[in-house]
Structures are given as C-alpha cells and as structure tokens.
Chains A and B, each alone.
Chain A
Amino acid sequence: MDVILFVVFAAIAVVCAINVVVQTHPISSALSLVGVMGALAMLYLLLGAEFIAMAQLIVYAGAIMVLFVFVIMLLNAGAESRRGRSITAQIFGIPGFFSLLVVLSFAVLKLFPEAPVVRFGGFTGGGARDVGRALFTRYLLPFEVTSLLILIAILGAIVLARKEVD
C-alpha cells in the first residue's frame, strides 16, 4: 500500500516538476509548482512526518505560492515566447541533465555507503511536539538567526516599497 502511494505521488511530483519548466504561461508553471508541493507533502506524510507535511502545505502551497499567483495575476504577465535558444543548449541540454543526475547519484552512493534504508512510517519524530522541541533546543541558534534574517528582509522590503516623503 505504502509503495503504491509512494509511486503515485512521486510520479505526480516529477510530472508536475517537469511541467513547471515546460509550460510557457507563468500561471500554469506556478500551479504546477503547487502540485509539486502537494505531492511532496504526501510523501512526508508517508514517511510519518505529519507536522512537516502540514507545514509544507500551509507555508508553501498555501501562502508562498498564493502570493506568486497573486503577483502574476496583478502584473498580468503573458506567455513567454520560445526564441533565442542556442544550438548547444538544444543538443546537449537533456543528455547533460541526465549525466549530471548519474554523477550525483553515484557520488551519493560512494560518499554514504552505510546510510540506512528509508522505511515508510519508520520515522516517529514528526509530530508537532517533537519538531517544536528540536527547534527550541538543539537548533535554537539557527532558528533565531533565520527569524532575524526574515525580519531584516521585511524591513528591507518596507524601505524599498515606501514612497519618498519630502
């Protein structure tokens, strides 16, 4: 059952991810990305990380991508035109991508030969309690630094967006 679900949602994720690149219209690409996020959330659920799955849906699919779609609609961006692609990119693009994939997977296998095999539902530290405890004890410093970074980004956005006051 788990394997079937994994194959289904992994396939959805991959197809949507390819669709993000293939589609010419920005709205179609953005919505394909939402599909990727949703499929990823399902994969997290299969692994037993409920909180992360829901956070993925709320933050990425629900908040960030909505803003993307909102901005695309506001700017009324049209479909991109397919022009000016070099001969090298057309010939070597897809084979180059697959060879990069091969090299990467080979490197991962070489570097971590002892890595444990992933089992569905074998991970139990995915509840809200466990994630909260990890964030506020072991990863407290990175967590706080990230929040500071976000605060700076917000301030920067406000400064950039503010109208000049004489």
Chain B
Amino acid sequence: MEYFVISIIKSAVVAIALLTTLAYLQWVERKVIAHIQIRMGPSRVGPHGLLQPVADIVKLLTKEDLVPPHVNKFFYLLAPFLAITTSLISISVIPFGTEVEVAGYRTWMQLTDLNVGLLLVLAISSLGVYGIALAGWASNNKYALLGALRSSAQMISYELPLSLALAAPLLLANTLSLREIVEAQGGYSLGFIPRWAIFQAPVPQILSFLVFLAAGFAETNRVPFDLPEAENELVAGFHTEYSSLKFASFFMAEYCNMITVAAMTTTVFLGGWQPPFPERLGSNLIAPMLFFGAGVLCFYHASNPARRKDRYTLPVFGVVFFGLSLLFLLVPPLMPLFWFAAKTGGLLFVFIWVRGTLPRFRYDQLMRFAWKILFPVAVVNLMVTGLVVALL
C-alpha cells in the first residue's frame, strides 16, 4: 500500500515537472533562437515573455478542432495519441539522482529501475514512428504522406547507429539498468577526471557519444534533420492536416523526445547525476555560486535597466536566484538533481543552438550520412571497444 502511494506521488511530481519543462523549453527555444538572430523573442506576455507558454496553451485549447472530411477518422485521431504516449513513457526509467529521504521514507529519484531499462527506452522510441507514419497516412494528403514516409525511412535508418552507439558504453558498464549504468560511471581517475563513459578508460566513448547525439537529432526530427516537416517543400509535413490540441500533441511529443534524448545522453555518456569533479574540490559549491552570480547579475542589470520595466522585474528574479542558491547550499542531497538538470539542460541548449546555426540536409545527404558515415563509425567503435574490453 505504502509502495503504491509513494509511486503515485513520485509519478505526479515527475509528470508535473516534465510538463512544465516541456512548456518552458519552447519559451527557451524561442528566446535563444531570437537572440542568435539578434531579435528580442517573445516579450509581450508577462515579464520577458515568461507567460508565453500559458498563452500558447490557451490559444491551442480554444482553437477550432477541425477534422478534415477526407481523412481516415480512426487512425487520424489515434496518431496524436500514439505520438504523445510513446514520447512520455521513456522518462519513467531515467534516474534523476541518488537515494533521498523525504519525511522518513527512503526512495530513489527515479520512477522505476528496470533491469532492461535501456532496452525499454529503445523499444519505446522505435514505437514512436507509428504516430508520425499514421498521421501522414490517415491525413490523406500528399504532403503529409511524403512527410510521413521521409520520417519513417529516417527513423528506421538512424535507429541503427543510435543503438550501436549505445552498445559500446554498455560494454564498459556491463549492465542494462540505467541506475547501475550511472553508478558504474562514479569515481575519478587520477583523482579529478570523472569516470564518465566519454572519459572512461580503456576506451573513451567520445565517438559513440557524437554518433548518438547526431542520431538523436535525427530521431527527434530536429534541424538539420527535420526533412519530415520541411516547410518549403512539404507545407508542414506529417502534421499538415492537424489543428488545435491534436497539433499540440505532436508539438509536445517532439519536445518530449528531445528531453528524452538529452536525458539518455546524460545518463549513458555523461555520468548522469555524478558531479564533474570530486566533492573535496568543492563541486557542491558550484550550484550555490552559479545561482548567486545570476542573482547579482540580475540586481546589477536592474540598477541600470535597458528597458523601464526591467527595474521592477529583474530584482524579483534576483531574489528567486538567491533563494535557489541558499536552497542548494543548505540541502546537499539536491546536488545530484542539479548536476543531472545542468547536463540535460546543456544538451537541450545544444539542440536549440544547432537549430539556430545549421541549414537543413538534402534527403540523399541525410541517408548517405546515416549509412556511410554514422553506421561504420558506430560499428568500428563498438568492435574496438569490445576487443579492448575482452583483452583487458
């Protein structure tokens, strides 16, 4: 009984955190892209556009929910469900931190630890194709169908390098449970180099990390691999015929897949919640110092504001940052959570940064890249890693 209650509370916390992150990831993306392109980004709704996600949700909820007359109704309605469900499941096996004690109960900062957790993530991501493929087919529209075909071909092709790149660090960790994978990356070689998979002796997995990241971009249909929704050729690709909440589910699914890929990269390659240098060198002080610095910066900019309203909004953020700084200083068990969030957030920033920087691939370039570059690199890396691990 106790187990059920704890599980339900944990699921609720993770679900709320995930959905909030989803909503604000979109705000972050718009802001970052805007600053890359020397624009302001959303700034009308709330201070610095911070209420923009709420406005977007209200807009999407109140838009007309249109079902075109020429669609295959059952599959047309099933597709967004499939897309959003498969993208939300994977978060359940990601470990966010160590064991913590809350109000007398000890529990792990992870929803569930399967001994085949990594395979579950792969399985769920391979099922994610159905949402997109069905959406394109059921829409009965040539652009949607072309988008769906491209997307299926792309996801099938990039799944191979993705799985092969994941297999190499598994040889070092020797387990499929994500919690144990993170624990296998604990400790430091030479006293300060973290034993994360990308730095771990005998074979640093930098190559498979890069392959995984590139394939992850393709799996989530992000720029430069966003062929399925190339707007100048295919209108909007597979979701051309979708409006209102059904469009929103595809949109959310894409961002959620992004979070999953970033969290998986963090877990398998970047040591999950392990800090980048030991506690005795002061890794626990990084988070308070970072937030303190952000708070000071806020107050500095409030004292010479660029816009008039900054004089009132920035001190509020400054106080929030000081509060966070104090929180991390006083509650050290939160540190693993901070490192996990920092690494995942950094990777998400790379996702957005790439979108602001790179142009789209051509379709044949996309396929050639998968089969002639990523796939051989992943295979060679796997073989070398296997050989070295077997010989040592």
Contacts and interface: CB of A to CB of B under 8 A. Distances in A.
Best-buried of A50, A51, A53, A54 by chain B (most CB within 10 Å): A54
Interface in A41-78: 50-51, 53-55, 57-58, 61-63, 66-67, 69-70, 73-74
Contacts of A62: 122-123, 126-127, 129, 159
A135 to B, nearest CB: 15
B126 A27 contact: no
A70 B136 CA distance: 11
A31 B80 CA distance: 15
A73 B149 contact: yes
A66 B136 CA distance: 14
A73 B176 contact: no
Interface string B117-159: 0011011001101100110110000000100110011011001
Interface residues of A, number: 21
Contacts of A53: 116
Leading 8 A-B pairs by shortest Cβ distance: A62-B126, A54-B119, A57-B123, A50-B116, A58-B123, A70-B152, A54-B116, A73-B137
B122 A58 contact: yes
Q: How large is the interface on B (under 10, 10 to 19, 20 to 34, 35 or more residues)?
A: 20 to 34
Interface centre among A67, A69, A74 (most CB of B within 10 A): A69
B379 to A, nearest CB: 15
A69 B133 contact: yes
A3 to B, nearest CB: 19
A16 interface: no
Contact of B126 (A31, A66, A127, A128): A66
Contacts, number: 70
Interface in B75-129: 75, 114-116, 119-120, 122-123, 126-127, 129
A57 B115 CA distance: 16
B245 to A, nearest CB: 22
Contacts of A128: 115-116, 119, 176
Given A51-B116, A54-B120, A70 B156 contact: yes
A70 B115 CA distance: 32
Nearest to A57: B123
